[in-house]
């Protein structure tokens, strides 16, 4: 029964540096992803055409690509052996691989589809006649987006943020490739868990796994718990007409 | 200051457009404070209105807004001013109130760009009263009946049109476009609202182009009428002239039932 001892609060045994890095990385990635995903999803949702199809396919690529493949390409791209890597090195002053910025970029690319897809679905569900109503009142596209589209798609926004967060918390392959499993500095919880299992330290692994499970569960529960976030796609208002 | 040019034209529309089975080909100019596009459903009225608002891009044509002859559409020269940059405010037939806002917030949505916020507050109060919305101010759209939603939607466009003051623009008054603004309302209330709105808007010199298939409404507004059928303008003039035959036909039918 030692396997399921629930000493989660025994923080001494938990890799606190890994927990801190994981949280910092997941929160930064979520913030960065929302900044990227909002305009991108809006652009994808608001039209047709080959360009949009291609972009959507590229955004979805991390869904099917083995994370280690993505991590490998990013490692090469960020490393000193390629022209883009050297350019990035000059911009940031240090090699991006094995740095927090490198991890952040990798995580953002890896979790991009999880941030973009809910938003595309949400934006696509907004009745176009609301956009016309706003434009007919003189609202610019940007004002329409802020004052009409975003309030109608709050639930999609939350889903997008939570998925980006949880997906980043759980990622392994990209971080392993880009972070290099440098103890303390660039080791996240999921990699710490892997190391603990490799060391046959099942007690520690158990706690790490539980923390990861708890984080995911709490984040997902937020989607279902927060009131008033369900079915707000603006369809209920005009039932009468 | 009047919105008319020296030629007296508020708006000139020349357009050809094909939608589904309808082949639209219209040419008319507006000169009166309130003009009604009149005709049976499917005659192309709404499409014309949507082209002026900027929601429909005509296949060919030219739309020029009277004051300072501002070109909104000129397909020959590739001119197409986007909706929100036109000196035009519009309300579609479906209310489409923003569900997350109260009635008052909805009505005030198109205001707030003017340079006289104090005046705008007064305008908001007056519009709310005019459209009998004062007691509904804090309600959400889903708590309103269909007729109430429609009144709020019309009020929203009216407020936006009056508040328009052409900041950064050469145009001083916006034109108001209303698609079947009174269609869902009962007789007496409709009459009061229509007359009240006409008089109030005349005070602000906001020109109106509305769409209707209701003869009574045209007489009530004392409006200029552009009669459309099958995508063409059949006749244009004062309501008494243009709709006399229509009125006679309706009266005859009424008497036949006696």
Give mean pLDDT, residues A211-218: 90
Place B113 in a pLDDT band, splitting at 50, 70 and 90. Answer: low
Residues B142 and B252 placed together within one structural domain of the fold: no
Indicate whether B43 and B8 sit together in one domain.
yes
Tell me how far apart the 2 most distant CA atoms of chain A are, in Å: 67
Judging contacts by C-beta atoms under 8 Å, the chain A residues touching residue B53 are 136
* pLDDT band with cut points at 50, 70 and 90 for residue A240: very low
B164 and B206 housed in the same domain: no
| Cβ contact A238–B83 (<8 Å) | no
How near does any CA of chain A get to the CA of B99, in Å? 5
Last residue of a domain, one of B136, B168, B200: B168
- B-chain residues within 8 Å CB-CB of A136? 53, 55, 83, 88-92, 157, 177
Q: What is the pLDDT of residues B12-65, one digit of tens each?
A: 999 999 988 889 999 999 999 999 999 988 899 999 999 999 999 999 999 999
Pair (B190, B140) in one structural domain: no
Residue of A nearest to B106 (CA): A134
- B44: domain range? 1-87+172-258
| Residue in B131, B132, B128, B130 with CA at minimum distance from that of residue B104 | B128
Closest chain B residue to the Cα of A148, Cα to Cα? B98
Local confidence band at B114 (pLDDT 50, 70, 90 cut-offs): low
Residues contacting residue B1 through CB under 8 Å, at least 6 positions apart:
B172, B205
Instruction: Provide mean pLDDT across the span A170-182.
Output: 79
Chain A residue with the nearest C-alpha to that of B148:
A240
- The Cα of B85 is separated from the nearest Cα of chain A by a number of Å equal to 7
End residue of a domain, out of B120, B144, B168: B168
Question: Domain check: are B36 and B155 in the same one?
Answer: no
**Mean local confidence (pLDDT), B168-183:** 80
pLDDT exceeds 90 at position B200: yes
- d(CA A150, nearest CA chain B) in Å: 11
B34 vs B115, more confident: B34
Is the pLDDT reported for residue A39 higher than 60? yes
Q: Does B157 touch chain A (CB under 8 A)?
A: yes
Measured between CB atoms, does B194 come within 8 Å of chain A?
no
Closest to B99 (Cβ–Cβ): which among A139, A234, A240?
A234
Q: Which residue of A has its CA nearest to B165?
A: A138
B138 and B192 inside one domain:
no
Domain count for chain B: 2
What pLDDT is attached to residue A13?
55
| CATH code of B47's domain | 3.40.50.300
Q: If you average pLDDT over residues B141-158, what whole number do you get?
A: 95
Distance CA A37, CA A171 (A): 19
Q: How confident is the model at residue B155 (pLDDT cuts 50, 70, 90)?
A: very high
Calculate how close chain A gets to B174, using CA atoms only, in Å.
10
Residues B196 and B78 in one domain: yes
Question: What pLDDT is recorded for position A239?
Answer: 30
**Per-residue pLDDT at B75 exceeds 80:** yes
Q: CA of B241 to nearest chain A CA: how many angstroms apart?
A: 32
Range scoring the smallest mean pLDDT among A5-9, A44-48, A164-168, B94-98: A5-9
What is d(CA B217, CA B198) in angstroms, rounded to the nearest whole number? 11
Q: Is the pLDDT of residue B214 over 90?
A: no
In which band, very low, low, confident or very high, does the pLDDT at A227 lie, cut at 50, 70 and 90? low
Q: Are residues B141 and B209 in the same domain?
A: no
Q: How confident is the model at residue B86 (pLDDT cuts 50, 70, 90)?
A: very high
Return the percentage of chain A with pLDDT > 90, whole number. 42
- Partner residue opposite A241 with nearest CB, options B110, B146, B160: B146
The average pLDDT across A71-85 equals 83
Q: Are residues B82 and B182 in the same domain?
A: yes
Helix/strand/coil for A130:
helix
pLDDT at A228 > cutoff 60: no
* Res. A61 pLDDT band, cuts 50 70 90: very high
A residues 95-154 near B, CB within 8 Å? 127, 129-130, 132-141, 147-148, 151-152
Q: What is the mean pLDDT of residues B237-254?
A: 84
| Range scoring the smallest mean pLDDT among A79-83, A224-228, B104-108 | A224-228
User: Are residues B229 and B183 located together in one domain of the fold?
Assistant: yes
Q: Which of B122, B141, B168 is the last residue of a domain?
A: B168
Residues B164, B176 within the same domain: no
Among the listed ranges A161-175, A223-237, B198-212, which one has the minimum average pLDDT value?
A223-237
Q: How is residue A3 annotated by DSSP? A: G
Checking if the pLDDT of A83 tops 60, the result is: yes
Q: Which of B81, B84, B106, B169 to mutate to test the interface with A (most CBs of A within 10 A)?
A: B84
Q: Is B181 on the interface with A (CB under 8 A)?
A: no
Mean pLDDT for chain A overall: 83
What is the domain partition of chain A in residue ranges?
24-225
Q: Report the pLDDT value the prediction gives residue A17, as an integer from 0 to 100.
A: 82
DSSP string, chain B: --S--TT--SEEEEEEEEETTEEEEEEEEE-SSEEEEE--TTSSHHHHHHHHHTSS--SEEEEEETGGGEEEEEGGGTEE--GGGSSEEEE-SS----TTS-HHHHHHTT-S-SS-HHHHHHHHHHHHHHTT-GGGTT--GGGS-HHHHHHHHHHHHHHHHHH---TTSS----EEEEESTTTTS-HHHHHHHHHHHHHHHHHHT--EEEEE--HHHHHHHT-EEEEEETTEEEEEEEHHHHTHHHHHHHHHHHHHT-
User: What is the DSSP track for A201-219?
Assistant: -HHHHHHHHHHHHHHHHHH
Residue B2 pLDDT > 90:
no
Is A3's pLDDT higher than 50? no
Name the CATH superfamily for A24-225.
MetI-like (1.10.3720.10)
Mean pLDDT of chain B: 88
Nearest CA in chain A to B88: A136
- Whole-number pLDDT of residue A9: 46
pLDDT of residue A233: 44
**Residues B64 and B105 grouped into a single domain:** no
User: How distant is the Cα of B84 from the closest Cα of chain A, in angstroms?
Assistant: 4
- In this prediction, residues A218-223 reach a mean pLDDT of 85
């Amino acid at each position: 029964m030692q396997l399921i001892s629930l000493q989660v609060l025994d923080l001494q045994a938990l890799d606190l540096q890994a927990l801190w890095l994981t949280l910092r990385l997941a929160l930064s990635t979520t913030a960065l992803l929302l900044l990227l995903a909002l305009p991108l999803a809006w652009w994808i949702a608001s039209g047709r055409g080959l360009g949009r199809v291609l972009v959507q396919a590229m955004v979805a690529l991390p869904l099917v690509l083995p994370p280690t493949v993505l991590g490998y390409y990013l490692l090469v791209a960020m490393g000193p052996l390629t022209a883009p890597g050297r350019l990035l090195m000059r911009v940031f002053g240090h090699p991006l691989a094995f740095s927090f910025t490198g991890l952040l970029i990798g995580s953002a690319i890896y979790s991009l589809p999880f941030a973009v897809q809910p938003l595309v679905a949400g934006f696509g569900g907004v009745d176009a006649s609301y956009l016309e109503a706003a434009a007919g009142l003189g609202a610019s596209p940007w004002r329409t987006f802020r004052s009409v589209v975003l309030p109608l798609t709050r639930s999609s926004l939350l889903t997008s943020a939570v998925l980006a967060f949880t997906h980043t918390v759980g990622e392994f392959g990209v971080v392993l490739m880009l972070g290099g499993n440098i103890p303390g500095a660039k080791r996240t919880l999921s990699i710490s868990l892997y190391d603990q299992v490799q060391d046959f330290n099942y007690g520690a692994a158990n706690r790490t796994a539980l923390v990861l499970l708890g984080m995911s569960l709490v984040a997902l529960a937020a989607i279902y718990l927060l009131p008033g976030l369900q079915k707000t796609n603006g369809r209920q208002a005009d039932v009468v007409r | 200051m009047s919105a008319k040019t020296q030629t007296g034209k508020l708006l000139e529309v020349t357009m050809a457009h094909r939608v589904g089975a309808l082949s639209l080909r219209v040419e008319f100019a507006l000169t009166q404070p309130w003009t009604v596009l009149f005709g049976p459903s499917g005659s192309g009225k709404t499409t014309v209105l949507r082209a002026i608002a900027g929601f429909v891009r005509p296949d060919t044509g030219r739309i020029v807004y009277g004051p300072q002859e501002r070109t909104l559409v000129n397909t020959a020269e590739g001119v197409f001013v986007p909706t929100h940059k036109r000196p035009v405010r519009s309300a579609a037939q479906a209310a489409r109130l923003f569900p997350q806002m109260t009635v008052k917030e909805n009505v005030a949505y198109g205001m707030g760009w003017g340079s006289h916020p104090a005046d705008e507050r007064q305008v908001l109060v007056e519009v709310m009263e005019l459209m009998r919305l004062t007691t509904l101010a804090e309600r959400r759209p889903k708590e309103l009946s269909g007729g109430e939603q429609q009144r709020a939607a019309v009020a929203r466009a009216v407020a936006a049109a009056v508040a328009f003051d052409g900041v950064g623009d050469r145009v001083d008054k916006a034109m108001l476009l209303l698609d079947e603004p009174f269609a869902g309302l009962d007789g007496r209330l409709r009459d009061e609202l229509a007359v009240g709105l006409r008089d109030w808007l005349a005070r602000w010199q906001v020109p109106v182009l509305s769409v209707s298939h209701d003869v009574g409404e045209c007489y009530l507004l004392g409006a200029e009428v552009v009669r459309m059928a099958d995508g063409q303008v059949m006749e244009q003039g004062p309501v008494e002239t243009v709709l006399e035959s229509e009125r006679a036909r309706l009266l005859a039918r009424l008497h036949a039932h006696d």
